[in-house]
Structure 1
């Protein structure tokens, strides 16, 4: 019975971590054992029944920690239910329409038979690390475009799907 879920994430400035924590919180409220961890800190996924992996998008690529996590754990991930998410657009587009995964994430989805991918809006605020982030902010393109209602609804769907995969779960 799937009941232990890892939510691993790659983030630079913490906004993807907050999305991962929100997902883990919903899964926990739904009766699953869930924890959100930085992707680079995870040594094994063997003790988890299901995995959610998320990464911030930077210049059309998933965060390096998310990419490395998926590559490093690909054999174990292929054996469990897997969901992927991206965070990135610094505009309301992710709330207005479905944004397909970037090519590298699409390739990982296909290779690992991931159940679903979703793109959530990103967040870039004053104090962000990196010269590109500072340039974006200087050009007035920052802000918080995360939709936590949509994030929580997606997490609830994951929980329902895991519950459906486990007969007898109440």
Structure 2
């Protein structure tokens, strides 16, 4: 029975962590048991029946912790239902249209037979780490573009998909 779900994430300034926590909260409300954990802190997937992995996008690439997580756990991930999400655009585009995964994430989706991917808006606010983040903020391009109703809707769809998997395996 699919009930225990890991929501692993890679983030620099914490905004992707908040998305992962929201996904886990929705999965828990939908009757699953989910935990949001930093991707770099996860050593073993044997306790999880399904996995969601998300990462902030930086210069067209996923956060390094999430990339490393996918490589380190590729065998275990290939044996479990898997969904991916990206966090990145610093505008409303992710709420207005479907943004396809960046090439590296698309390749990972194919290799690991991921069931889906979504790109959510990003968040970059004062105090963010990094030289490039500082430049973006000085140009006035920061802000919080995360759409939490969209995130909650997507997480509920993941829960429904897992419930369908669970009912098929319980027969």
Q: TM-score range by the shorter chain?
A: over 0.9
In structure 2, the partner of 1:91 is 91
Q: CA deviation at 1:2?
A: 0.2
Q: CA deviation at 1:123?
A: 0.1
User: Structure 1-normalised TM-score?
Assistant: 0.98
CA RMSD of aligned residues (A): 0.9
Q: CA deviation at 1:105?
A: 0.3
Deviation per residue, 1:87-110 (Å, 9 max, x gap): 000000000110000000000000
CA distance in 2, matches of 1:51, 1:17: 15
Equivalenced residue count is: 169
Q: CA deviation at 1:166?
A: 1.3
CA distance in 2, matches of 1:167, 1:17: 30
Q: Which runs of 5+ in 2 are unaligned?
A: none
Q: CA deviation at 1:162?
A: 0.5
Deviation per residue, 1:111-136 (Å, 9 max, x gap): 00000000000000000000100000
Runs of 4 or more, structure 1, over 3 Å off, are none
CA distance in 2, matches of 1:82, 1:166: 14
Deviation per residue, 1:41-95 (Å, 9 max, x gap): 0001111000000000000000000000000000000000000000000000000
